[in-house]
Structure 1
Amino acid sequence: MKIELKSYNEIVEFSLIKDIKLVIKREDKLHEHISGNKYRKLKYNLIAAKEKGYTKLLTFGGAYSNHITATAAAGSEYGFETIGIIRGDELADKIDENPTLRFAKKCGMQFKFVTREHYRIKTSEEFINSLYNEFGNIYILPEGGTNNLAVKGCEEILTEEDAEFDYVCTAVGTGGTIAGLINSAKAHQKIVGFPALKGEFLTKEIKKI
């Protein structure tokens, strides 16, 4: 299976900026629903899942997770069943009221709603084994989509045409995107991350991946 989408650079014209070339990489234009770092994180995971014979993708997220949206859309487009473990069992009867869940449902995603307490142990061996018992042979994507294959995909964000830039800035969530940028940056480039949440833990997490 081959998955290949390309973004482009757009110069920002802003009168207050003097003697600086500011460019936005339009990763949001990669795909209508599988865009930005979500496409990058999913790309090699989808290829690996297909090569290993998996037909089901399972992942985790909240009611407004763009990772849930992207996984559901990718499953629909590339021929996978998708399962979302959703934080908050109170949402089970409110799917159609929530734009993220409504879209994911339209793409064919099956939901399992769990309590917030239960969600906190989602990476435990006991919980993971219960998912295999319930759903069978599943390819599991972590919350937010970050794993080694996701970082590999994010390494492709920077291309040769980006070698001229001195600074590359990005938002930071689970650390996968910035890890990929760090791996692929040129020696002269500085990578700057802006945590979306309180980010004290991120330095250690990024080094792990």
Structure 2
Amino acid sequence: MDGVTSDNPPGTADPAALRPLLPSPLVEVADPRFARRGLRLLLKRDDLIHPDLPGNKWRKLEPNLRAAAASGTRSLLTFGGAYSNHLRATAAAGRLLGFETTGVVRGEELAARPLNPSLARCAADGMRLRFVDRATYRRKTDPEVLAAVAPPGAFVIPEGGSNAAAARGCEALGRELRDVADVVGVACGTGGTLAGLAAGLGRGQRAIGFPVLKGGFLEEEVLRLQREAFGGRRGDWMLDERFHGGGYAKRTPGLDAFADDFEERHGLPLERLYVAKMLYGLTTLAEEGAFTPGTSVVAVITGTAR
């Protein structure tokens, strides 16, 4: 959905005015690759929370938007790559809630022109795009870099929206899945969703994160977020690094074939940068016999294919 509806009045600054669908729906699907192992597969449809701020973007942004409003500012600054779902969600939040938004984009501006659909949507929603080279982007939290790109008084939201507030926001996802899941799979970019999800799950439940970037750095990030949000490691969680497809926004023929097949089987268009990689990972684990018969496996659908 584009634009503002009468149910989502602009300029209110209160995220509750956007009327999110919470708790998000949980839907069981019949998939023979799970059924023949004695497993149940359920989809946690976080992509239906809000049409403009779907999935983990809502859960991570909502507490940051509240903090920004409480601080008295009407300006947001955040960061992302050229295909960042986080940038697009932040721009939409600004349009809907009356915040000015600035997005610091990794990469030279000349290489990003003409704007891809994600950045074009950000611009259409009023986001001011500031392009910086990759060396500068790596220093994006340095005071001198922030001073050069941030409007006066802007509330800074980290890349991917992942900070302690975001992790606490995602804790609700784990609580919504208590007593209905044994294993929960989620795609990971910056680690905030996994940090909160694992903290919210109950005893005997575990979470598996599927990084969409290569590099093996994410475990320490999840631990850092849990320390900042909850005082230490929380929940039973692990990372499976095998399904990033070569890195962020990269895909393989095997991943595309899996996603096409899943869509045909279940009638659900898959977001390819995150969701397809996570489902590919969960399905592979099921076929490898990683889960005992009788296990209920939940896949968190964190974004939409659009």
TM-score, normalising length: structure 2: 0.64
**3-state SS of paired residue (1:170):** strand
**Does residue 119 of structure 1 match 2:160?**
no
Partner of 1:13: 30
Q: Quick one: which of 164, 167, 170 aligns to 1:154?
A: 170
Alpha-carbon distance in structure 2 between the residues aligned to 1:165 and 1:88 = 40
Partner of 1:32: 51
- After TM superposition, give the deviation of residue 189 of structure 1 in Å: 0.4
Alpha-carbon distance in structure 2 between the residues aligned to 1:87 and 1:206 = 22
Alpha-carbon distance in structure 2 between the residues aligned to 1:2 and 1:66 = 18
Asked if 2 retains the 8 angstrom alpha-carbon contact of 1:170 and 1:192, the reply is: yes
Partner of 1:78: 97
Alpha-carbon distance in structure 2 between the residues aligned to 1:181 and 1:26 = 14
The one-letter code matched in structure 2 to 1:118 is: T
The superposition leaves residues 31-81 of structure 1 with CA deviations (integer Å, 9 ceiling, x where unpaired) of 222111111110000011111111000011111110110000011111100
The one-letter code matched in structure 1 to 2:137 is: Y
Alpha-carbon distance in structure 2 between the residues aligned to 1:109 and 1:160 = 33
- After TM superposition, give the deviation of residue 144 of structure 1 in Å: 0.9
Partner of 2:180: 164
Partner of 2:119: 101
1-10 or 62-71, which deviates more: 1-10
Unaligned 5+ segments in structure 2 are: 1-13, 226-306
Alpha-carbon distance in structure 1 between the residues aligned to 2:176 and 2:124 = 38
The superposition leaves residues 131-184 of structure 1 with CA deviations (integer Å, 9 ceiling, x where unpaired) of 34xx10100011111001111111111345542311111111111000001111
TM-score, normalising length: structure 1: 0.92
**Aligned residue pair count:** 206
Partner of 1:144: 160
Asked if 1 retains the 8 angstrom alpha-carbon contact of 2:177 and 2:201, the reply is: no
**3-state SS of paired residue (1:194):** strand
Partner of 1:110: 128
Cα distance, 1:147–1:90 mapped onto 2, change above 3 Å: same
Asked if 2 retains the 8 angstrom alpha-carbon contact of 1:91 and 1:113, the reply is: no
Unaligned 5+ segments in structure 1 are: none
122-131 or 74-83, which deviates more: 122-131
Q: Quick one: which of 136, 148, 172 aligns to 1:130?
A: 148
Asked if 2 retains the 8 angstrom alpha-carbon contact of 1:92 and 1:113, the reply is: no
Asked if 1 retains the 8 angstrom alpha-carbon contact of 2:174 and 2:199, the reply is: no
Q: Quick one: which of 162, 171, 196 aligns to 1:180?
A: 196
- After TM superposition, give the deviation of residue 92 of structure 1 in Å: 7.5
Asked if 2 retains the 8 angstrom alpha-carbon contact of 1:178 and 1:193, the reply is: yes
**3-state SS of paired residue (2:166):** helix
Cα distance, 1:145–1:2 mapped onto 2, change above 3 Å: closer
**Does residue 63 of structure 1 match 2:101?**
no
Asked if 2 retains the 8 angstrom alpha-carbon contact of 1:86 and 1:112, the reply is: yes
Calculate the aligned-residue CA RMSD, in Å: 1.7
Alpha-carbon distance in structure 2 between the residues aligned to 1:67 and 1:34 = 9
